Amino acid sequence: MSKKPKTETKPAPKTINQDGEETSTMPATLSQQAMASIGAGGLPAGFKVAKKVTLSQLKQRDGVPVYIKVLTPMRLATAIKDRGDGKPKMEPPTLVNVIDLTDGREKQYIVNAVLKSIFEEQYKGDAYIGKSFGINSLPKEEGKRHKPLEVIELVED
């Protein structure tokens, strides 16, 4: 009987999230995410997660950068219809699925008009998918229609 070679496990890189907590930047598997989200009791024996049906939302706050890896193309959310005339109450937001690099979890991120324009102009043909970004929303400037953004593209060491 041969012995298995010892594998060295490296600790996951750490970072500080928006709430000031130290977290790992390693993405969790779907099953690990589900166990963390649904409960510490774990999944029933013999089962693993096929897909996440719902995702939490990564909220952008002024002056607090978010660090994301884009997983999907931008898409419009489902419009919420007004019960009277059937028209939407407001324009549906543009969404993208991302990995929050501060905690490694898959989330939905609302792409505002400024970021949508940046992605469309700078990353032709959905070339932003698979790339990582740091995004900082700045307070709205007087006389301007949209909040300015600072956007940086990240690469792994």
Mean pLDDT in the chain? Answer: 80
pLDDT range class, residue 7, cuts 50, 70, 90: very low
Q: Give the pLDDT of residue 92.
A: 86
Average pLDDT estimate for 78-104: 82
Per-residue pLDDT at 10: 42
Strand partners, 106: 99
- Cα(154)–Cα(44) distance, integer angstroms: 38
Q: Which long-range contacts link 121-130 to residues 24+ away (Cβ below 8 Å)? A: 126/73, 126/74, 128/70, 129/70, 129/71, 129/72, 129/73, 130/69, 130/70, 130/71
Q: Which domains does the chain have, with CATH numbers?
A: 55-154 (2.40.50)
Residue 132 has pLDDT above 60, yes or no: yes
The whole-model pTM stands at: 0.68
Confidence of residue 80 (pLDDT cuts 50, 70, 90): confident
- Output the pLDDT for position 76: 93
For the segment 51-71, the average pLDDT, to the nearest whole number, is 92
Higher pLDDT, 64 or 26: 64
